Amino acid sequence: MEDFSSHGGTAKSSGTEQFAKGLGWFSIALGLTEVVMPRALARFIGVRPQPVLLPALGLREITSGIGILAQRQPTLWVWSRVMGDAMDLALLGAARMDRHNDEERIDLAAAAVAGVTALDLLCALLLTRQPKAMEQTVKTITIQRSPDEIFAFWRELENLPRVMPDLRSVRRTGERRSRWIARGPGGKRIEWEAEITEERPNELISWRSLPGADVDNSGTVSFRRAPGDRGTIVRVEMRYRLPGGSLGAAISRLFLQAPGQKAQLDLYRLKQIMETGQVTTTEGQPAGRPASTSSLYDHGTTRG
């Protein structure tokens, strides 16, 4: 199975993203200074030499900077800079209480850090409020069945919860329209209306969600006969925008399976159902087989 996942959006970065990249480079430059010249920096800000603390803070800055530059929407990394700024201000406040340090220089350093904090906070808020770009994932798998069999199974949309465990139900509301209910992150109920935008029998089905969907999504599934009479190559391309904004999406990817990973497992289930009539599972009865709304597949007529 092939896997291609990417962030959507335009090639040109937005002004907010450019703002974040600038903070990323600043973070790396500051971090390198703290790591390479801790004693000189300590004298500059008016504190006693900090041979361990400043390099540690420098590594934090470098990590944040690399994280910001590596991500197209680096919301979490910019928020990490805001938290780091708060830590720096607290450390400078504690240093000011030490009579061996230069209070005037520390005050100037604190003012500079406060200015940077304001910039970091502004950028973090802009990124959090910015609509999340559509993401894309592409999966392919070869199934030992003919294109018309797999197309027929997929086109009967009520079959899809058998393939996608997080999908609770699919109900047709028209010839090309349907209502979907799924289980989202944290067990949240997610609903959307969808319509088929293009259909070529035994070849292709394209769809998109309608306005008001909890999760904006669209995609195409195609069915192409594999060379050498080896079955059918099923290719699924999905585009989606996770709920909860960019911060919520980033947290979902940290603690839960991303939609791309789920799509891969779903295609393996489709392969098992089409080739063997059941999905291998350790839950419930070992040979248990969920029923679908299609008598063709409920009665085991998966032909070779």
Percent of the residues in the chain that have a pLDDT greater than 90, as a whole number: 53
Tens digits of residue pLDDT in 27-43:
999 999 999 999 999 98
Task: Show the tokens assigned to 261.
Answer: 């990973």
Residue 133 — very low, low, confident or very high, per pLDDT cuts 50/70/90? low
pLDDT at 3 over 80: no
Tens digits of residue pLDDT in 39-70:
999 989 999 887 889 999 999 999 999 999 99
Give the C-alpha separation, 204 to 222, whole Å: 4
At residue 11, the pLDDT reads 37
pLDDT at 283 over 70: no
Residue 132 — very low, low, confident or very high, per pLDDT cuts 50/70/90? low
pLDDT, greater one: 181 or 8: 181
At residue 259, the pLDDT reads 61
At residue 249, the pLDDT reads 53
At residue 293, the pLDDT reads 39
At residue 15, the pLDDT reads 83
At residue 243, the pLDDT reads 57
Percent of the residues in the chain that have a pLDDT greater than 70, as a whole number: 79
Tens digits of residue pLDDT in 187-237:
778 899 999 999 999 999 999 999 988 878 899 999 999 998 889 999 999
Q: Residue 44 burial by CB count (10 A; 0-12/13-18/19+): exposed, middle or buried?
A: middle
pLDDT at 256 over 50: no
Task: Show the tokens assigned to 264.
Answer: 């891969």
Per-chain mean pLDDT for the chain: 82
Within 8 A by CB and 6+ apart from 3, the residues are 137, 138, 139, 260, 264
pTM equals 0.53
Within 8 A by CB and 6+ apart from 205, the residues are 151, 154, 155, 196, 198, 199, 220, 221
At residue 224, the pLDDT reads 96
Residue 300 — very low, low, confident or very high, per pLDDT cuts 50/70/90? very low
Residue 131 — very low, low, confident or very high, per pLDDT cuts 50/70/90? low
CATH superfamily of 135-298: START domain (3.30.530.20)
What residue ranges do the domains of the chain occupy? 14-129, 135-298
Tens digits of residue pLDDT in 84-106:
999 999 999 999 898 888 999 99
